Structure 1
């Protein structure tokens, strides 16, 4: 159906709603009430666009937007939010600005725009200025800075005892203090509730009465929370590869993530069994993979990217397998696994502990994932091994360990969205990190506003997976035409 938004009426309703500017950010862990909706709009800052300093990728424009460090103190200290755009390729057909919410957490929206915007269809690029930003704490927006020496001393994320658990708590506390001192006051205000206000300030600075938004992966948390906070300021919103920020327990969060990862491994095995192009075709894929994993556990597996260096089992899982699952690169993964299986073993040696993503503090500010002690940690690890027997040491358990001992300013809660227009929720059936059940849950939480679009294939990201998906998303963004309930698009051929 075609949704005909009563924009003038909705804007009048916004103006008639008198609420304190900004949203107070909870300082305690646990559940919090949904933020107040339709707070008074921020004073629109100025965006002075100039060509970005990247001769290899011409055509993008960059600017900065001054925003408060803490939106509960709008007249307090500020910092500059880095912003970039590429203008619509057909100015005469331009609809407006589409703001892209980057994933991660820790992805740079500026880099996405400057380096190219292939994730959007030609029609979307024709009709919209594509705008994005570096979220606070990332890239050019007051990035989190920590001691390299302290980061290098990160203890193993695999905790073998209560002593390891206690040592990790102490290390986390020391690291947070160091990062806070080096980063400055923004370090304590990195959560998505604060970024919602940054996003609304950007909307105002772009001169848009209503926001057109596309959030991908972690950007879906931002989009959903914006719709909750400012439902009457949404024109159109795509949430692609969806995180469910209502998952309340540590066990539930880890179990659902492990199930999604294992589902993608199972799909990889099915593909190899039925496809002669697979380098492991005719072999027991799970058995070959397990042997490679065992060699990595013993420190005998050479890192393909660093000859002579041992590849850890965690890096094998997270940096090789899961990354290939993102784009369903099954042929490349099978070849890599076959090559590793055939390689000569290294002399057993300890493997290094890989650094965590730089925006761990953002994740920790948004997720309250308590673990009482080593006994509970060990129980969680056993549960994950039962759920994902082929993929130990998933990044989600490592991130949980990295957050131990810290408060969450913006912890999980169920969405409460009232009065927003239809919001398009898009997900692949076989997504390795944001599983399909999360998308179903978020669409339901959105209530009458939630419209679920299903890609029946594999991978992380779905909106440009074939003409069916592109047509549905283009029609929604440009003409506000919502796909019929239950719309499903076929998988692209493997």
Structure 2
């Protein structure tokens, strides 16, 4: 509780602006038409004169410099998706309007690809136990494994292991804003990047020009049960939308069959070529991407005897996630109760892929940026974009964040499926671009249909 109070007080207190750094840009990108540099930041922001790291930064200069609005910083998801490649190589996610009117900048968050990446023993990572527990013995085995893994990661990574939390990332973002010479931040955060954008607006309202949050994370869950229930709802909602699509689409490989029954037969089959979590993970990936045809093809093939897919060990994003979420589980009895509750919310899919967070963070004891309800007081309301059916960041999360923001936030809904909505319809792009360029805030309750360009 004291940590939460500290977060809220920090958001209310004035924070001195960082000293602008000098950025030395060089040509980069697969077509050598972008620019790259590094920004030096402290490992521990409470010790600004201490050890430092270099953050990788990429920029695509505005095509129409004469009519440039300023700099748009893109906050990648993940956690720990690289941002530099998004603007130097894969910049087609941005509209012509944004490419014309903004220098578009992104970065690899601390601990990720180009910014002092976290290092762990790959042999130890490969030994990860099943993320779904079945007994108290599993609970104790996972707890012991986590402690051994983390000790090795910290030894290989150094002190950054203890400073990859969202509070540190917010300070990095403000340092980048200052280094770019921007008086106020214009920001587009995607998925986990929405936590960063909201946190920045909360801490630095007077340094905020416009913040767009696409595929909205709700960082206000008051308990492990609330977090798991919200994620479960989103997974079941996306699966239900997939089933509806299959029922109405003759080209679906499972058309005319009881799709939920096929899925549950696989879930309870006990086959050796895949686990229950593997099936949930594949379903999550395909529904998240709104790739319903491939999911149907996969389920039909495996139900027909084809081998199931094994995702393998999950990437180590622990200090970026576990340090931001307090998700305590005392013992297997409590864990089993949480999973039973999830199954009641999701009678078809049983539990979400995000259930792995409970076991991946089991035993983590230094949450630096705990969940809390947002207190944002920016001059321009934050703009939220979310699909109606999103397995990763459900519409339930987006609506709850809008409620927390009150008059300081407006949600626009894409009436369709998939994680990410800016690229899914011209309507969503037009609304987002008008907000970022001209600070035009749409009417509350605005909905965009599933039209593609």
Mapping 1:81-92, distance limit 5 Å: 81-92=55-66
Q: Determine the structure 2 residue equivalent to 1:413.
A: 372
Q: Determine the structure 2 residue equivalent to 1:302.
A: none
Q: Determine the structure 1 residue equivalent to 2:83.
A: 109
Deviation at 1:384, TM superposition (A): 1.6
Q: Determine the structure 1 residue equivalent to 2:290.
A: 328
Distance 1:449 1:427 in 2: 17
Deviations 1:124-180 (A, max 9, x none): 111111111111111111111011121122222222222221222222112111111
Q: Which secondary structure state, in structure 1, belongs to the residue aligned with residue 91 of structure 2?
A: coil
Deviations 1:401-458 (A, max 9, x none): 1111112111111111124421101111111111112111112222221111111111
Q: Which residues of structure 2 form unaligned runs of 5+?
A: none
Q: Does 1:66 align with 2:43?
A: no
**CA 1:433 to 1:31, structure 2 compared with 1: closer, same or farther past 3 Å?**
farther
Q: Does 1:424 align with 2:383?
A: yes
Q: Determine the structure 1 residue equivalent to 2:172.
A: 198
**CA 1:246 to 1:345, structure 2 compared with 1: closer, same or farther past 3 Å?**
closer
Distance 1:128 1:222 in 2: 20
1:479 to 432, 438, 441: 438
Q: Does 1:441 align with 2:400?
A: yes
Q: TM-score, normalised by structure 2?
A: 0.94
**CA 1:360 to 1:134, structure 2 compared with 1: closer, same or farther past 3 Å?**
same
**CA 1:375 to 1:481, structure 2 compared with 1: closer, same or farther past 3 Å?**
same
Aligned length: 450
Contact 1:260 1:433 in 2 (8 A): yes
Deviation at 1:393, TM superposition (A): 5.5
Q: Does 1:355 align with 2:317?
A: no
Deviation at 1:233, TM superposition (A): 0.6
Distance 1:278 1:58 in 2: 42
Deviation at 1:391, TM superposition (A): 2.5
Deviation at 1:58, TM superposition (A): 3.2
Contact 2:27 2:33 in 1 (8 A): yes
Deviation at 1:353, TM superposition (A): 8.1
Q: Does 1:133 align with 2:107?
A: yes
Higher RCO, Cα 8 Å, sep 6+: 1
Q: Determine the structure 2 residue equivalent to 1:316.
A: 279
Contact 1:191 1:410 in 2 (8 A): yes
Q: Which secondary structure state, in structure 1, belongs to the residue aligned with residue 431 of structure 2?
A: helix
Q: Which secondary structure state, in structure 2, belongs to the residue aligned with residue 396 of structure 1?
A: helix
Deviation at 1:357, TM superposition (A): 2.3
Q: Determine the structure 2 residue equivalent to 1:340.
A: 302
Q: Which secondary structure state, in structure 1, belongs to the residue aligned with residue 39 of structure 2?
A: strand
Mapping 1:139-288, distance limit 5 Å: 139-288=113-262
Distance 2:348 2:94 in 1: 34
Q: TM-score, normalised by structure 1?
A: 0.87
Q: Which secondary structure state, in structure 1, belongs to the residue aligned with residue 98 of structure 2?
A: helix
Q: Does 1:464 align with 2:444?
A: no
**CA 1:280 to 1:431, structure 2 compared with 1: closer, same or farther past 3 Å?**
same
2:18 to 42, 50, 53: 42
Deviation at 1:473, TM superposition (A): 0.8
Q: Determine the structure 2 residue equivalent to 1:8.
A: none
**CA 1:275 to 1:89, structure 2 compared with 1: closer, same or farther past 3 Å?**
same
User: Which deviates further from its counterpart, 391-400 or 157-166?
Assistant: 391-400
